[in-house]
Amino acid sequence: MNCHGLCEHMNILQANFKTLDTISNGSTIIIEGYFIYEFEGVRLVPHKNSPYKKGLWINFNRKYQRSLKNTLKKLSYKKVLVVGIIDFDSHGHMDLYGGELQQVCCIRKL
């Protein structure tokens, strides 16, 4: 998926799972990891077998998610780059995750 233009006019910070705790809540970040697309388990994790708490729940806009459904299925268990707003106060489905990436405007396979 080509993301040019979708996230323009945003101040995007480079992040990784090791340095997430240095990022301010509400910042727009770009982060890489393994994208998992399952029923009640849409997440980004540092490694394919990482526990939920180590990952981030991905909170897509429903319309955006529906438009990408087939693409998202193909990206499952692949390494990707994701751009979204980090929210450490929210923890995804059943509060299982370390935080959420909200308002995702880009997901791209590496």
Class in CATH terms, 12-109: mainly beta
Domain ranges of the chain: 12-109
With 0-12 / 13-18 / 19 or more C-beta atoms within 10 angstroms meaning exposed / middle / buried, residue 22 is exposed
Task: Give the pLDDT of residue 26.
Answer: 94
Q: Which helix (H) or strand (E) holds 69?
A: helix 69-75
Handedness of CA 18, 12, 108, 94 (dihedral sign): positive
Q: Are 59 and 83 in contact (CB under 8 A)?
A: no
How far CA 73 is from CA of 20, 49, 94, 107, in Å, comes to 26, 18, 22, 12
Task: Give the pLDDT of residue 93.
Answer: 85
Q: Are 84 and 58 in contact (CB under 8 A)?
A: yes
Task: Give the pLDDT of residue 22.
Answer: 94
Task: Give the pLDDT of residue 5.
Answer: 58
Q: Which residues of the chain have pLDDT under 50?
A: 1
Task: Give the pLDDT of residue 6.
Answer: 60
Q: Is the pTM of this model over 0.85?
A: yes
Task: Give the pLDDT of residue 106.
Answer: 85
